[in-house]
A and B are shown apart, each in its own frame.
Chain A
């Protein structure tokens, strides 16, 4: 991640977590004596789930060669006295001399965490390829242009006496703009007419009319089929896939894979509306400290018990939004 981006990734608490440790028993061992020791540990100190990310053996190189240190078990699982007794019972007290060591408590998710936390004691790390946050120059250019449009919408809102929050939803696969909207709380006298809800409502009615149009078309074609005339029937494959998907819940996937660009961080209500709509990514400018649901007050996009997660980026063109900044 050497790329300098004009926006900042809003990480989950797990991703931004700093080092927390847990105490374990370890012992230095001679290479030729590791056999019986590992056998003993495997039998009497089975792997604990909480230590799955921690390596069993640490190798420390120095000028006289190297030292091997083996991890026995967590301090939580057995008292020091009981452990000493157990070792003595197996006649290993001459080669296994436990002491307490700290290891990192949680698995590393980012490379930065891994590089930092492994210094304490070696750990496993599998980088999730989906975490890759690189953008092509063209993508960044598009992203900035979409935010410019959202800002224009917020200025439009302001001129109409509305709260200046603008938003735009696009399909990044073909760069089609699906909906442009702004906050209309003032004119509608409806306290919940936020830009995002307006945007989702637009996309939903669009989707519904497309669907009805297509199922109508199919109905007409089916009626025509019954008549033995040589009508040229032109059915595109899309209409059929639409019909086949009839039984699936359409709403579940309403905004699947779509991007939303909004001048201000969505409130908690709107953030959850984006979860319900299965949004793909969210880019916003100004952070909303009083009710923001995507980084400020809550991190709804990464919450463990919610069933849909998405990526969020903040601070995009923020300097252009500062004049319009408002917390509500």
Chain B
């Protein structure tokens, strides 16, 4: 069933696609305030030479530099991001007191809201409130975009990592509960 969350995640996927088209890891996101998109971003780590320029940071900086909002605005915002926030972004969102996070697919290597750590709800982090985080919105689309990116990266490499040409895997294992 197509919910409002799917509608926004579809839009976040467009930003991820833009990252893909610009040779960046395809992750996109947007912040929604009272059913209105107030900022969006996509990964720019290659362009900026900066491994910390994740989609979330791009969108946060866009919102704060617009002059229209103060940082308190995030307490009333919902974040839609195509991939589970990494450990860095998970704690950034906690510091901003984000209201709610929805993501597409899990981030097995760096994920900070369930995969590697539970930064969003760790009770020992008392400075900022915990926030709810739910995955699985257009999960397959998010995964496929990432896979496409890594297959392309491997083909571009001067010495491909494997002997065989990497083929795009299309079957997706069901989400872990």
Chain A residues close to B by CB (< 8 Å):
189-192, 197, 200-201, 204-205, 207-208, 211, 247, 249-252, 254, 267-273, 275-278, 290-291, 293, 297-298, 300, 303, 305-307, 327-328
Contact = CB atoms under 8 A, between A and B. Distances in A.
Given A268-B119, A328-B127, A190 B71 contact: yes
B170 interface: no
15 contacts: A201-B50, A208-B48, A250-B49, A251-B48, A251-B49, A251-B51, A269-B88, A269-B91, A271-B87, A272-B87, A276-B88, A277-B51, A290-B127, A297-B125, A307-B109
Contact of A211 (B49, B60, B109, B119): B49
B92 interface: yes
A269 B92 contact: yes
A201 B52 CA distance: 8
A203 B6 CA distance: 38
Contacts of B45: 249, 251, 276
Nearest 8 pairs between A and B by C-beta?
A204-B50, A272-B88, A276-B51, A268-B91, A272-B87, A269-B91, A251-B51, A208-B49
B95 interface: yes
Interface residues of B, number: 37
Interface in B63-116: 64, 70-71, 86-92, 95-96, 109-110, 112, 116
A201 B51 CA distance: 10
A300 B117 CA distance: 10
Nearest to B71: A191
Which of A192, A205, A211 counts the most chain B CB atoms within 10 A? A192
B126 interface: yes
A303 B127 CA distance: 23
Contacts of B124: 297
Nearest to A297: B124
Nearest to A201: B50
Given A247-B156, A278-B51, A305-B109, 14 more contacts: A189-B71, A200-B50, A201-B50, A211-B49, A251-B48, A268-B91, A269-B88, A272-B87, A276-B52, A276-B86, A291-B91, A297-B122, A297-B124, A306-B110
A306 B116 contact: yes
Which of B45, B46, B92, B127 counts the most chain A CB atoms within 10 A? B92
Which of A189, A249, A275, A276 counts the most chain B CB atoms within 10 A? A276
Contact of A291 (B48, B110, B127, B158): B127
B160 to A, nearest CB: 12
A233 B137 CA distance: 56
B92 A192 contact: yes
B92 to A, nearest CB: 5
A208 B49 CA distance: 6
B91 A272 contact: yes
A272 B112 contact: yes
Nearest to B95: A191
Contacts of B172: none
Contacts of B61: 190
A247 B95 contact: no
Contacts of A298: 117
Nearest to A188: B64
B157 interface: yes
B51 A252 contact: yes
A305 B114 CA distance: 13
A254 B87 contact: no
Contacts of A204: 48-50, 53
A189 B52 contact: no
A49 B87 CA distance: 32
Given A272-B112, A290-B127, A328-B127, A250 B46 contact: yes
A250 B46 CA distance: 7
B154 to A, nearest CB: 12
Contact of B96 (A191, A207, A275): A191
A290 B95 CA distance: 12
Nearest to B74: A191
Given A192-B95, A267-B91, A303 B116 contact: yes
A154 B30 CA distance: 34
A254 B50 contact: yes
A319 B160 CA distance: 52
Which of B117, B122, B156 counts the most chain A CB atoms within 10 A? B117
